[in-house]
Structure 1
Amino acid sequence: MGKSHVMFIGKIADILAKAGHEIVLFQPIIDDNITTTGTKLARVIERKRDFVIDFSFDDLQEDVWSNITTTGTKLARVIERKRDFVIDFSFDDLQEDVWSFEEPSFSKLTSMVGRLRSVQTKSCKNQINDKTLMDQLKSENFTMSIGEPFDACYYGVLERLGINTYISALAGSGMTAAFGGLFGLPSTPSFLPGMFSGMPPLGYIDRAKNLIGHTMLQYWFPANFINPLNEVLRPVLGHDFEIMKYEEIMNSSRKGVILMSFGSVAQSYKMPEVLKKKFLETFAQFPDITFLWKYEKDEDNIAHGYDNVITGNWLPQTDLLAHPKMLAFISHGGANSVMEASYAGVPLIGIPLMADQFRNAIMAQYRQIATIVHKQEILEGKLTEAIKKITTDERLKTRKRSCGAKQLMRNRFTYQLSSRVTVGKG
């Protein structure tokens, strides 16, 4: 899973810990690049990877552009499982694939998912067969569990530990089609856009792609390892991140600020040099606008010579989006990012790279709160056009629609954590 998934589960752990619950976070380690547990208040139990992986997670990141261990224990506890097997591929390779200019294809997607699934399978078998670990977890006498169904091993561990009360928390949107059947939820690929289809209304080709994508997800994530839920599956918790202050940067900008971040999986430093240069040249065309870029390697000094570009390896995204001088958000279209931008009333420039990001960006554009620029179009100057569209002629109209989405989000998702965290008490 990406860092955003880890942060999502960690945030849930912290919320429950603050409410007085005793929380243990179990984390099996697969990707060595993820060096955080996502929690400040939980006790961590960790299990290292104990098998070989035949590809690089860095390669997967590169594919995206082509097609941890801080516990900070205070109130709760985290259990991490270190990866105790060798991976014969690099996670960096996956990141580089993200930035490739090749059109995404089913064959490439199948290959990527297949590699990741093989890793999950090996990790799961080793976890389940680790008697010492299972005995340690069982001795905790858990009354309830919360986990993400991104990896089906979660339910296997629950079975081994005899935990019958659990909550499935999913940090994504388009993946619902993959997991909905596990919970007895209906799927309607004939008209509801999936991860791989276009913007509604769907034509014949779009519906065909939708059906194929739905079938592939059912193959990758078969519904044969879990009992159906009796209650309706529904979201109960929001997500946010720990942040720092950028007030001075925001207030000193003459016309406003545009934030750019591609999440935790697609690392900006992994993109091709020609693409980095094009981003900077595009930003230079708008000298009165400040661009904040989440760039993971400060030592690259990527923004040297560009006075209106400021980089940071992890930006306070939610606070920045909420600032009145925020003009737009250039994003990969991750579920968290789309919701946070909508909640703040900030228009999006979507550059989807993989997974549910295409669907998320398309739905935001369908609701007229986003403009999509595909990564292949950046070199053609389409990003410049999109920035002009949002900040000049179309800005007021787009902003008005975004603010409408903001009101809908805030009216519907009023956080009432006090009524949620009492589960299991008394």
Structure 2
Amino acid sequence: MYHAEWYLASLIIIFHASQNDSYKILVYNPRFGKSHTKFLGSIADTLVNAGHNVTEFAPVLFEFSDSTGSKLAKTVKIDADPEISKIMNVEIFAQDAWKRNQQSIFSLISVMKRMSDALLKNCEFQLKQEKIMQELKSEKFDLAIFEFNQCFAGIIELLRIPAHIVVSPTALFEYAIECFGIPNIPSYIPSLLTQYTDKMTYLQRLKNLIITILTTKLLDNHTIRCQALFRRLYGDQFIDLKEKLAQVTYVLTNTDPLFHISRPTIHKMLELGGLALPKPQPLSKEWIAVMNKRKAVVLVSFGTVTLSCWMPNETKQALLDAFDSFPNVTFIWKYEKDEHLIAEGRPNVITSKWLPQSDLLAHKNLIAFLTHGGMNSITETLNRGKPIVVVPLFGDQMQNAVLVQRLGLGIKLSLSELAIKEKIKNAIYNIIYDKSYAQKVERLSKMMAKKPNQAEEQLIKHVEFAAEFGQIANFDPYGRKMSFVSYYMLDIIIPFIILIFFIITIICYLIIRLFRKLFHKAVICNNNNSIITKVKKN
């Protein structure tokens, strides 16, 4: 009897202990892009599996991008505002990505301005859902997790959530880096939107500086507009949104130090590459048959936004003609419209609207991946140890493509080169037969697998720490509060240079005076000697 009572008491203690360690967490997962939705949904599911009470807040920004996020958390959804599609039609944006000048600064400005308008409209639409906001506030969450988002920073304040973490499926934009007080040095740290490495030419450094300043200014302007919206709705004393964003406990990015460029960091910044990496699952019989049809398989996919069916016809034809050059290789192409019959008459080309991408990448017969270079795709491919042919289209894909090439993990093609059969053919040939690519990727894959601290474990520990302790003052660098002049010590350097210049000027002046005096004395002496000589002669 005694043992039974002791056992029951132990169970009760364990139960209460587990309850005390469970936190209420709000994950902000707007339906913005499928890869972003998948990333945040995976984080929510990981935390649910760790025993936490997780709610996913899912306002739909674009109908096109509406997709499933968390499979385990409670989801609170807000349908899309139909007015947003009038500001920015994401389907047209995605279709234009196949034609857009990737390096055009004017194109970048246009896209960012339209995106700012759409996000601002969506923010006001969310804030008007007063019933949902009140329900979320009544939950009394311990912690909020979200991608860098000015609107949700204000919502956190409205919901009275005491702590928050920013996560990112990509490397951070320069504006976020500045906001958190992370040092950003454009001389060797390329902007996320460029195709530069850390070794830049003079002109590349100039362009990198311009793009860094430009994107920072555009995003700062968006923050100002969001700030005006909140103060219009909730009064002039509403908290500064940029300051609220800076008060995060942690910034967790889906980047990997083994892949990304080494850069200065701060205590609150953590790189957890592979954060949403799914474990390989067994393939269906149909897919196994496809994978075993030939000894070599190349996967082709350009993501869930820039669909292959929207490619220009000449690009599609160039790809198909290049595939014809490799009859012993099976090409599995994610192509979204079966009715196009794009692979008809080509036995080595298999098309499908949907692919179990991560599982296919794990198959032994898959030898390469032709991809747009989104961070999720890059992470999956590198962890599976497969070389890459990458064709960047927009956003962080530009930087990812350069990093792949920089480390010898694959080959980068430009969008214009994707319309040239010989360019595609040469890239595929080299990625298959030049074994250095496979060897380097395999080595990197092993390093990623053997990292001392795995991403999922680190996520759970840091989330629980943040939920318990909130903002950590020591994690907040004072540098972010300093003025430009003070931060770069211009108030010391400029006066010092002026002082040195003044001292040099004085010294030069004194030297000139001295030489003049000496010269004057020499002239007088010479004249006197001449007079004496003449007198003696006389």
Q: TM-score range by the shorter chain?
A: 0.7 to 0.9
Match among 186, 190, 194 for residue 191 of structure 2: 194
CA contact (8 A) 2:166 2:248 kept: no
Shift of 1:241: 4.6
The answer to whether the aligner puts 1:112 opposite 2:111 as a matched pair is yes
Match among 251, 257, 276 for residue 239 of structure 1: 276
Return the alpha-carbon distance in structure 1 between the equivalents of residues 341 and 136 of structure 2.
45
Return the alpha-carbon distance in structure 2 between the equivalents of residues 203 and 143 of structure 1.
48
Return the alpha-carbon distance in structure 1 between the equivalents of residues 340 and 452 of structure 2.
40
Return the alpha-carbon distance in structure 1 between the equivalents of residues 150 and 353 of structure 2.
31
The answer to whether the aligner puts 1:252 opposite 2:293 as a matched pair is yes
Return the alpha-carbon distance in structure 2 between the equivalents of residues 385 and 126 of structure 1.
50
Return the alpha-carbon distance in structure 1 between the equivalents of residues 369 and 59 of structure 2.
33
Matches within 5 A, 1:24-423: 24-50=55-81, 52-53=83-84, 87-100=86-99, 102-149=101-148, 151-173=149-171, 175-195=172-192, 196-222=194-220, 224-225=242-243, 226-229=245-248, 231-236=267-272, 238-241=275-278, 245=283, 246-254=287-295, 256-380=296-420, 381-392=422-433, 394=434, 396-412=435-451, 415=454, 417-418=456-457, 420-421=459-460, 423=463
Change (3 A) 1:89 1:342: closer
CA contact (8 A) 2:102 2:394 kept: no
What does residue 19 of structure 1 align with? Answer: 50
Return the alpha-carbon distance in structure 1 between the equivalents of residues 102 and 400 of structure 2.
18
Gapped runs of 5+ residues in structure 2? 1-31, 224-241, 250-266, 469-538
* Residue correspondences, number: 389
Shift of 1:40: 1.2
Q: Which moved more, 1:362-371 or 1:87-96?
A: 87-96
Return the alpha-carbon distance in structure 1 between the equivalents of residues 169 and 268 of structure 2.
18
Q: Kindly provide the amino acid, as one letter, of the partner of residue 36 in structure 2.
A: H
Shift of 1:220: 2.6
Q: What is the percentage of aligned positions where both structures have the same residue?
A: 32
Shift of 1:414: 5.0
Return the alpha-carbon distance in structure 1 between the equivalents of residues 137 and 309 of structure 2.
42
* Secondary structure of the structure 2 residue equivalent to 1:23: strand
Change (3 A) 1:220 1:251: same
CA contact (8 A) 2:391 2:418 kept: no
Cα shift readout 1:317-336 (whole Å, capped 9, x = no counterpart): 22222222211111111112
Cα shift readout 1:284-306 (whole Å, capped 9, x = no counterpart): 11110011111222333322221
Return the alpha-carbon distance in structure 1 between the equivalents of residues 413 and 457 of structure 2.
41
* Secondary structure of the structure 2 residue equivalent to 1:421: helix
Output the aligned Cα RMSD: 2.2
Return the alpha-carbon distance in structure 1 between the equivalents of residues 202 and 317 of structure 2.
39
Question: TM-score, normalized by length of structure 1?
Answer: 0.85
* Secondary structure of the structure 2 residue equivalent to 1:266: coil
CA contact (8 A) 2:405 2:411 kept: yes
Change (3 A) 1:414 1:259: farther
Q: Which moved more, 1:269-278 or 1:352-361?
A: 269-278
Return the alpha-carbon distance in structure 2 between the equivalents of residues 239 and 32 of structure 1.
23
CA contact (8 A) 1:182 1:228 kept: no
Shift of 1:205: 1.0
Shift of 1:234: 0.7
Return the alpha-carbon distance in structure 1 between the equivalents of residues 100 and 76 of structure 2.
40
* Secondary structure of the structure 2 residue equivalent to 1:93: helix
Shift of 1:31: 0.8
Structure with greater helix share of residues: 2
